[in-house]
Amino acid sequence: MSVGFVFATFAYAGIIGLITNSFLWVYENPQSLFWIVPLFLFINFFAGFLFIRSHSKRLRVCYHGALLLCAFYLSTLFSTGMQIYLAFRLIPAETTLYLWNLLFCFGVHFLIFWNSILCIYLTSIQLGIKHRIIGALCGWIPGINLLVLIFISKIVVEECMFETKKENVNKARKEQKICATKYPLLLVHGFFFRDYKYINYWGRIPKELEYNGATIFYGNHESAAIVPISARQIADRIEQVLQETGAEKVNIIAHSKGGLDCRYVLSELGMAHKVASLTTINTPHHGCRYATYFLSKTPAFVRNRFAKTYNTALRKVGEQNVDFLQAAGDLTDTSCKALNEQLHTPEGVFCQSFGSVMKYAYSGKFPLNISYMIVKRFDGANDGLVSEPSFHWGERYTLLRATGLRGISHGDVVDLNRQNIKGFDVREFYVQLVKDLKDRGL
* pLDDT of amino acid 199: 66
Please give the Cα distance from 427 to 168 (Å, whole number). 14
Lowest-pLDDT range of 49-53, 194-198, 341-345: 194-198
Please give the Cα distance from 144 to 150 (Å, whole number). 10
User: Which amino acid type is present at position 38?
Assistant: P
* pLDDT of amino acid 361: 82
Express as a percent the part of the chain with pLDDT over 90.
52
* pLDDT of amino acid 1: 57
* pLDDT of amino acid 48: 79
* pLDDT of amino acid 84: 92
Find, among 386, 438, 394, 436, the residue nearest to 412 by Cα.
386
Is residue 299 reached through a cis peptide bond, with omega within 30 degrees of 0 on the bond before it?
Answer: no
The DSSP string of 177-203 is: -TT--SS-EEEE--TT----SSS-TTT
Q: Binning pLDDT at 50, 70 and 90, where does residue 300 land?
A: confident
DSSP-based three-state secondary structure for 131: helix
Burial annotation 375-393 (CB, 10 A radius, 16+ → b, else e): bbeebebbbbbbbbebbeb
* 132-164 per-position pLDDT tens digit: 888 888 877 877 877 888 888 889 989 998 999
Please give the Cα distance from 191 to 247 (Å, whole number). 28
- Please check whether residue 126 is in contact with residue 154, taking contact to mean a CB–CB distance below 8 angstroms: no
* pLDDT of amino acid 125: 92
- Could you say which DSSP state residue 126 is in? T
- Please check whether residue 411 is in contact with residue 356, taking contact to mean a CB–CB distance below 8 angstroms: no
Please give the Cα distance from 379 to 389 (Å, whole number). 9
* pLDDT of amino acid 139: 75
DSSP-based three-state secondary structure for 256: coil
* pLDDT of amino acid 198: 57
- Please check whether residue 385 is in contact with residue 333, taking contact to mean a CB–CB distance below 8 angstroms: no
The domain 177-439 belongs to what CATH superfamily?
Answer: Alpha/Beta hydrolase fold, catalytic domain (3.40.50.1820)
Please give the Cα distance from 400 to 16 (Å, whole number). 46
Q: Report residue 350: phi and psi, to 5°.
A: -75, 120
Alpha helices in 289-415 (DSSP H): 289-297, 300-316, 324-329, 333-342, 368-379
Find, among 369, 364, 373, 298, the residue nearest to 329 by Cα.
298
Please give the Cα distance from 62 to 413 (Å, whole number). 25
* pLDDT of amino acid 182: 97
Q: Average model confidence (pLDDT) for the chain? A: 89
Please give the Cα distance from 423 to 401 (Å, whole number). 8
H or E segment to which residue 162 belongs: helix 144-173
Give the residue-averaged pLDDT of 383-391: 92
* 238-290 per-position pLDDT tens digit: 999 999 999 999 999 999 999 999 999 999 999 999 999 999 999 999 998 77
- Please check whether residue 184 is in contact with residue 250, taking contact to mean a CB–CB distance below 8 angstroms: yes
List residues bridging with 399 in a β-sheet: 355
Please give the Cα distance from 247 to 276 (Å, whole number). 11
pTM of the model: 0.88
Please give the Cα distance from 280 to 164 (Å, whole number). 30
Q: Binning pLDDT at 50, 70 and 90, where does residue 99 land?
A: very high
Burial class (CB in 10 A: 0-12, 13-18, 19+), 297: exposed
DSSP-based three-state secondary structure for 81: helix
For the chain, what are the domain ranges?
3-170, 177-439
Comparison of pLDDT for 255 and 303, the residue scoring more:
255
Express as a percent the part of the chain with pLDDT over 70.
99
- Could you say which DSSP state residue 385 is in? S
* pLDDT of amino acid 181: 97
* 394-409 per-position pLDDT tens digit: 999 999 988 878 899 9
* 320-374 per-position pLDDT tens digit: 777 777 777 888 888 999 999 999 988 899 999 999 999 888 777 877 888 888 8
